[in-house]
Each structure stands twice: as C-alpha cells, then as structure tokens.
Amino acid sequence: MRKLRLGVMISGNGSNLQALIDAAAAADYPARIVVVISNRPDAYGLERARKAGIDAICIDHKDFDAREPFEDRIHEVLSEHKVQLVCLAGFMRLLTPGFVNRWRDRMINIHPSLLPSYKGLHTHDRAIEDGVRFAGCTIHYVRAEMDNGPILMQAAIPIANGETPDSLAAKIHTYEHRMYPAAVKLIAEGKARVSAGKVVFADDVAMPDEGLVSPSA
C-alpha cells in the first residue's frame, strides 16, 4: 500500500501526535508520519516521535528574527521529507498567509471547540462561562485566517453540570484522539476533499443520523 506521507507540527505534549503514531502502527493504516516538527525544544511530543523512530526536528522560532525565515525552514524540512499532508496538532504559532497558501488543501488543524464558535485560546473557559450546552472539537483545512477553513470533522460534547475547564478539556481530548486518525484516514483514502470552500465526502462515508439533546429530553 502506498501510504500518505504526513508531517506533524506540534508545540507541546503531543497527545494528538501520539494518537496518530498509534493509528499509523497498524499495517493497514493508509498514512505514515515521516517527520515531526516542534517550534519548542522542550515539547514532549518530540520524545514521543523519537520513541516511535520518527524524525523529530526542533525549529525554534526564537532562533529567527521574523516569521518568514522561520516558516521557510519549516517548509524546507517538510519538502525534504516529501510530506503530502501537514497535520497541526497543538502547534501554537500563527502561520503567515504565505506559508498557509503554499500548503493550501494540504494542511489540517485540530481545534478544541465547535468552530466557528470559540476561535482562539481558552475555549473551554469561555464556553463554560457562556453557559452553552455543547462544547466540542473540530478538524479543518487551514486557511490564512486563524481557526478558519473548510471543516472536515467535528465532535459535539455536552457540558455537564458543574463542569470545569479541566474536566471538559479531558473529555474533549478523548474525542480529539479518536477523530484525528479517522480524519487523516478519510483524506488518505481519497474520501474527503475540498470543493468550493467546503469538504465533500464520498457516498460511503457514514454520517450519524441521531441528534443529541442536553439536558436529556
């Protein structure tokens, strides 16, 4: 099987990276991680990658005096590794339109909210503060505007009575870990693609037909 070549970009713990590493360990998974890039030398995800025998490279943004040369270096490493799809997995630097456009429709991101609600940081605190009944997470193709772009997959997670940002974050993480490998698989199998600014799916991609009501009714 010809596997889609992934480059994963991280800034921290890398639990979503780990979910991809674990999924890609299966012989029949249609993608493999060829390089992991972190902008922070202390990101634990670098260690996760090395343990899995994956090239793990730190490109520290502090070593560059502007965004462009920093991103040029990233682009160079991704290109050297013949990356076909970039997966942002907790990569916490804003990317310039120049970089984003070079990877247009070949770069996806995971964000811990039901986009287009709660772009940016502190998504769980803000959702709890607003009293919305559902939080969630989203995987989307990356566009120049932050946390924007065609949406590939979402999970809706009810906010429980007495929910805290930490308890919500833990719940959302479990769904992120389930979604990221599934979303990459859809792309690798050619079952999801961008058309006219939206993601369209092959006919055999399963969609849930049940809604979710919270509180239950």
Where along the sequence are the contacts to ligand GAR (CB under 6 A)? 10, 12-16, 89-90, 110-112, 137, 173, 176
CB-nearer residue toward ligand GAR: 90 or 149: 90
Question: In angstroms, rounded to a whole number, what is the distance separating the alpha carbons of residues 118 and 122?
Answer: 8
Give the strands of the sheet with 107-111, arranged side by side.
55-58, 31-38, 4-10, 85-88, 107-111, 134-141, 151-158
CB-nearer residue toward ligand GAR: 104 or 173: 173
CA dihedral over 116, 60, 99, 33, signed as positive or negative:
negative
Q: How far is the CB of 150 from ligand GAR (least distance, A)?
A: 16
Q: How many CB atoms lie within 10 A of CB 33?
A: 25
Name the maximum alpha-carbon separation found in the chain.
Answer: 56
CB-nearer residue toward ligand GAR: 90 or 158: 90
Q: How far is the CB of 106 from ligand GAR (least distance, A)?
A: 18
111 counts as catalytic: yes
Q: Which residue is it, tokens 């009293």?
A: 131
One-character DSSP codes across 21-63: HHHHTSTT-SEEEEEEEESSTT-HHHHHHHHTT-EEEE--GGG
Query: Nearest residue by C-beta to ligand GAR?
Result: 90
Q: How far is the CB of 70 from ligand GAR (least distance, A)?
A: 18
CB-nearer residue toward ligand GAR: 137 or 187: 137
Q: How far is the CB of 217 from ligand GAR (least distance, A)?
A: 30
Strands 4-10 and 85-88: parallel
Q: Active-site residue among 75, 111, 124, 173?
A: 111
Determine contact, residues 186/201, Cβ cutoff 8 Å.
yes
Known catalytic residues? Answer: 111
